[in-house]
Amino acid sequence: MPDSQAVIDRKDLGAMFALLAEEGYQPVAPRVHDGAVLYAPVSGPDDLPKGIGDEEEGGHYRLTERGDAKLFGHTKPVQGLKAHLYPARQKLWSAERAGHGFRIVKDQDPAPRYAFIGVRACELSAMLIQDKVFEGGPYADKGYAERRRNCFLVVVTCDHAGAACFCASQQTGPDVSEGYDLKLAEIIDGGRHVFLAEAGSEKGRALLDRLPRQAASEADLKAASDQRQAAAAGQKRAMISGVAELLAAQLESRHWEDVAKRCMSCGNCTMVCPTCFCSTMEDATDLSGLKAERTRKWDSCFSIDYSYIHGGSVRNSGASRYRQWMTHKLSHWVKQFGVSGCVGCGRCIIWCPVGIDITAEAKAILKGA
Amino acid sequence: MSAALQQADPMDVRPFRIEKIRKELSDVFTMELVPEGGGSFAFKPGQFNMIYSFGAGEVPISISGDPADPSKLIHTIRRVGAATEAIGNLSEGMAVGIRGPFGNPWPVEEVFGSDLVILAGGLGLAPLRPAIYMALAHRQRFGKVVLLYGSRSPSEILFPKELEKWRGRFDTKVRVTVDRAEPGWSGHVGVVTKLVKGAGFDPLHTVAFVCGPEIMMRYGIQALEDSGIDRTGIYVSMERNMKCGIGLCGHCQWGAPFVCKDGPVFRFDEVADAFKVREL
Amino acid sequence: MVQVDNLGRILEEHPFAQGLDPALKDVMIGCAANERFEAGQFLFREGGEAKKFYLVRSGVVAVEVHAPGRQALTVETIDDGGVLGWSWLVAPYKWTFDARAQTLVRALSFDATCLMRKMESDPVLGYQVMKRFVPVMAHRLHAARMQMFDLYGPAKKG
C-alpha cells in the first residue's frame, strides 16, 4: 500500500535541507562544478543546478540552459554515489614497527551521515546492487555497510530521458518502488513550482510530517505520472533482452576483437559506472620505514596489472579486458549476485572517449552469434 | 573498539612471528608462523591466507601445513615478485601479517570411501600437502591412495624427504617424474600425465585432487579423464590475482566464480568450460 | 607349441594388444620373443640398426642421449605397459637414442624384418600395427612439447 502523497512548495524545500542537517546529516545533492553536474555537499536548494539541463551522447556531455526554474532538470550527475559510500581512496589502517614485528593501528574516522538528495532511479538501483556486492556475501565491507546504514535517500524522479539512458530496458527506472526514504517529483505548472512527495520509510515519513505541505491534487499525480512516462518513452537506447545468456555463450565471439580496436583501455567506464566495485590495495611505508599504511583504491579491470599473477597478466589483450568488463557487468553479475550489474544509466557511453556504446556492442554480439 | 570486533573484520591483519624458515629450493622457502601474543590457527586443507610484509604488500599463499596441528601455521612460498621477495627477505623472529584462512578446501572428508589420486606439479604440491596429511591420517577411510608428482628436475622436487617417507608406507603409492633428468636420477623421466596410466586406481570409484601450473592441470585432467575418472570426481585448485581474499575486490574473477570465495578448490565439471577460454 | 601359447598370453596382457583380432595376434606372435635385461644393460644403442621393437612387461627403460664429457641424459623413461622403439618403422631404420634398462626389465620383442614382411603382405595387419604406433608417436611428441614448456617454473618475466 503506497503512502499517501503530499505536495511541498518550492519555497518550503529549504526546510527539508535544514531538518536533515539538524538531524546530523550532511546533505549531498547535484550541483554545478567545472561545467558538469555532480553530487557534492550542499547547504540548501540555492546550491542546486537551477534551470540547468544537460546533453549527452557517446563521448559527449554539455550543460544546457533549460529556460525554466527546475532544480532537478538535468538527467543524472556525471558520477553516481559510490564515491560517497565506497571512497575512491580509503586508508584502511596504519602499522608501526614494534620490536622485531609490527602493530596495526586502526584510526578510522566515524562513518559520515549523508543525506543524498536528488537521487535518480538508476542511482538507487545501483546502490541496491552494491548492497548485494558489499553486504550480501559471506564477508561484508564494514565501512560500506556503516555508511549505507547511515544515509538518508531523497529520490527525485526523472521528467525526461537523457540520450544515453536505457534504464527502462534494465527495469531499474525511471520509477522506483523501494529503497528510498522520500520520493519527489518536481512539477512546474505556470507559476506553481511544487514537489509531489511520498515517503518510503519510517525515517521519510517522520521527515515529511515535519514539513509544510498540502494534499496532492489529481492534476499533480497526473503530472508526475506523465513525467515518468515521458522519461521511459524518451529513451533512445535499450539493452537487448537475454543479454546475460547471450554473453555467457559468446566468450569467443569475434566481436571482442572489433571492440578492442576502438577501446583504449582507459577505464573511464569502470570509474563512472555506479556499480563497478573493484579495488586494489596500496601498501607503503613512510621515509623512516617505521610506519606503514594500507590504502584501498578503486581499480579497473581494464588495467594490465589487474589480472597479474607471478610473471604475467592473465588478460593481456584489450579484447579480453573489454570482454571481462562487459560480461561481468551484464552476465556473470547475475550469477554472482542475482541481478544484472548494469542499471542503464549510460554513463559508460557518455564518458567513453571514443563513444563505445554497451547497448550497441550487445546488439553486435547478438548479430554475430 | 574491542579486540573481538577488530578480529571480526576480514580486512584486519593479524601479526604472526616467524618461528622457523627452511629453504626448500633455490627460490622456494617454508615458514613456520605462530600468532603474536599466542593462540592457534585452525584451517582446512586447500585454504589460503593473505600474507603481508610490513609496508611491502600482500599476497595470497596456500597453507602447506598439517590441518591437525593448529599450533603453527606453515606456508611454502616462491620468490616471484616484490611481495614474496619482501617476505623471503625476513628472518626468524620477525613478523608477517596474516588474514585468513580463506577459500573452499579440498573435500577430503567428503570423499572418504573412494580411491584418492593426488596429481601435483611443481609447487602445486604445497597446497596439496595439507590434504595428503589429512588423507594419510585417515588412511583407512580410503581405498587406494596414489600420489603422482611431476617436477622440472630432480633438484627441484619439493618436499623430497616427505615424498620418500610417504613412498615408504605400504599403503600409499607415490610416483614421481621429472621433465629433465640429472646425473644420478634413476626415477621416471617424462611428463606427469604419463604417471596416471598404470597408477592402479579404480576409475569408477576415484576422486582426484589436482594442483600445479594451469597448463599442467589441463593436461593432467585430460589424462585423468582418459583413464575413466568422471569430471565430477576431479578437483582443481586455481590461482588468480587477489587483493582482498573475500570476494570484494573483483580481481580473482574467473568467469562468474571468484577464485577466492568460490574456490580456490573447484570441482572440475563446474569450471571445465572456463579452462577452455583464453584470457578469461 | 607351449612357448607360442605363453607368448600369446603375454601379448594379450599388454595394452598394445587390446582389441587386436586373435588371428592377427597369432601372426604377430610368429615374430615375437620373450626377453629379459638386467639393470644397466642396453636394449639398443643410438645409430644401431633398428631391427626390433619392445613391449615392456615390467621394469623401467631409460631412453638416453650421451654426449662426450657428460653423463648420459635420460630424456624419457618407459615402464610397464609401454612401447619402446619406433625407428624400425621409419627409414633409415636406425635407433635415434640409447635405451638402457634402469631396473630388471622383462619385455616382448618383435623382429622388425619378420613383422614388416607380414605387414607388407597383410595390409590389415599392417594397418592394425600402424594404428597402435601412431598414437605412441603422437603421445611422445606431445610429451616432448610439454617438457619443452618448462611447466613448473615461474612464468618468464616479459
Q: Is residue A96 part of a domain?
A: no
Q: Does A126 score more than 60 pLDDT?
A: yes
Question: Is the same domain home to B78 and B125?
Answer: no
Tell me: do A318 and A251 sit in the same domain: yes
Do A33 and A177 fall within a single domain?
Answer: yes
Same domain, A309 and A226: no
- Asked whether residue C157 carries a pLDDT value surpassing 60, the answer given is no
Instruction: Give the number of B-C residue pairs with CB atoms closer than 8 Å.
Output: 72
Residue C2: per-residue pLDDT:
47
- Kindly state whether residues B119 and B72 are assigned to the same domain: no
pLDDT of residue C142: 87
Q: Do B157 and B231 sit in the same domain of this protein?
A: yes
Q: What is the pLDDT of residue A194?
A: 96
Are residues B68 and B190 located together in one domain of the fold?
no
DSSP string, C58-95: ES-EEEEE--TTS--EEEEEE-TT-EE--GGGSTT-B-
Q: Domain ends where: B77, B102, B127?
A: B102
Whether pLDDT at B4 is above 50? no
Rounded Cα distance, B262 and C2, in Å: 62
pLDDT at C156 over 70: no
User: Would residue A97 count as lying in a domain?
Assistant: no
Q: Which chains touch B (3 or more CB pairs under 8 A)?
A: A, C
Indicate whether A290 belongs to any domain.
Answer: no
Q: Indicate which CATH number applies to the domain containing B44.
A: 2.40.30.10
Domain identity same for B115 and B233: yes
Q: Give me the number of domains chain B comprises.
A: 2
Tens-digit pLDDT profile for residues B144-180: 999 999 999 999 999 999 999 999 999 999 999 999 8
Same domain for B132 and B269, yes or no, is yes
What is residue C72's predicted lDDT score, i.e. its pLDDT?
Answer: 80
**Do B279 and A320 lie within an 8 Å CB cutoff?**
yes
pLDDT tens-digit series, residues A197-236? 999 999 999 999 999 999 999 999 999 999 999 999 999 9
What is the share, in percent, of chain A residues with pLDDT greater than 90?
Answer: 92
Burial label for C149, CB within 10 Å (0-12, 13-18, 19+), is: middle
Q: Are residues B70 and B119 in the same domain?
A: no
Single out the residue in B102, B132, B152 at which a domain terminates: B102
Interchain CB contact of A67 with B (< 8 Å) = no
In a domain, A342, yes or no: yes
CB of B260 closer than 8 Å to CB of B102? yes
Strand pairing of A114-119 and A152-156? parallel
Question: Which range, of A323-332, B56-65, C141-150, averages the lowest pLDDT?
Answer: C141-150
Range of the domain at A197: 6-88+112-233
Contacts B156 to C, Cβ<8 Å: 152
Task: Tell whether A101 is covered by a domain.
Answer: no
pLDDT in tens, B61-101: 999 999 999 999 999 999 998 899 999 999 999 999 999 99
Is the pLDDT score of B142 beyond 70?
Answer: yes
Domain total in chain A: 2
Q: Which domain holds residue B81?
A: 3-102
Task: For residues B196 and B258, state if they share a domain.
Answer: yes
Q: Where are the domains of chain C?
A: 2-148
Higher pLDDT, B256 or C1: B256
The set of chains that have 3 or more CB pairs under 8 A with A is B, C
> CB count, 10 Å around CB of A118?
25
Mean pLDDT of A15-40: 96
Same domain, yes or no: B68 and B160? no
Q: Which residues on chain B place their C-beta less than 8 Å from a C-beta of chain C?
A: 27, 78, 80, 121-123, 150-152, 156, 177, 179-181, 183-191, 193-194, 197-198, 212-213, 215-216, 219
Please state the rounded mean pLDDT for residues B130-149.
Answer: 97
Read off the pLDDT band of B5 (50, 70, 90). very low
pLDDT value at position A91?
A: 93
Query: Which H, E and C letters describe chain B, residue by residue?
Result: CCHHHHHHCCCCCEEEEEEEEEEEECCEEEEEEEECCCCCCCCCCCCEEEEEECCCEEEEEEECCCCCCCCCEEEEEECCCHHHHHHHCCCCCCEEEEEEEECECCCCHHHCCCEEEEEEEHHHHHHHHHHHHHHHHCHHHCCCEEEEEEECCHHHCCCHHHHHHHHHCCCEEEEEEECCCCCCCCCEECCHHHHCCCCCCCHHHEEEEEECCHHHHHHHHHHHHHCCCCHHHEEEECCCCCCCCCCCCCCCECCCCEHHHHCEEEEHHHHHHHHHCCCC
Per-residue pLDDT at A4 exceeds 90: no
What is the band of B8 on the pLDDT scale with cuts at 50, 70, 90?
A: low
- pLDDT, tens digit, 9 for 90 and up, residues A127-149: 999 999 999 988 999 999 999 99
Whether residues B133 and B190 share a domain: the answer is yes
**Do B171 and B269 have their domain in common?**
yes
Same domain, A123 and A227: yes
Contact state of B198 with C79 under an 8 Å Cβ cutoff: yes
pLDDT at position C4 over 80: no
Q: What ipTM does the predicted assembly reach?
A: 0.92
Chain A residues lying within 8 Å of B94, measured CB to CB: 100-101
- Residue B131's domain is classified under what CATH number? 3.40.50.80
Touching check for A311 and chain C: CB below 8 Å?
yes
Residues B98 and B147 in one domain: no
- More reliable by pLDDT, B198 or A309: A309
Report residue B7's pLDDT band, with 50, 70 and 90 as the boundaries. Answer: very low
**Cα–Cα distance, A362 to B131 (Å, whole number):** 44
- List the 227-256 stretch of A: residues with Cβ below 8 A of B: 251-252
pLDDT tens figures, C74-133: 889 999 999 999 999 999 999 999 999 999 999 999 999 999 999 999 999 999 999 989
Whether A108 contacts chain B with CB within 8 A:
no
A63 & A121 share domain? yes
Write down the pLDDT at residue C48.
Answer: 94
What is the CATH number assigned to the segment(s) C2-148?
2.60.120.10
Asked whether residue A223 falls in the same domain as residue A251, the answer is: no
Flag if C156 and A311 touch (Cβ within 8 Å): yes
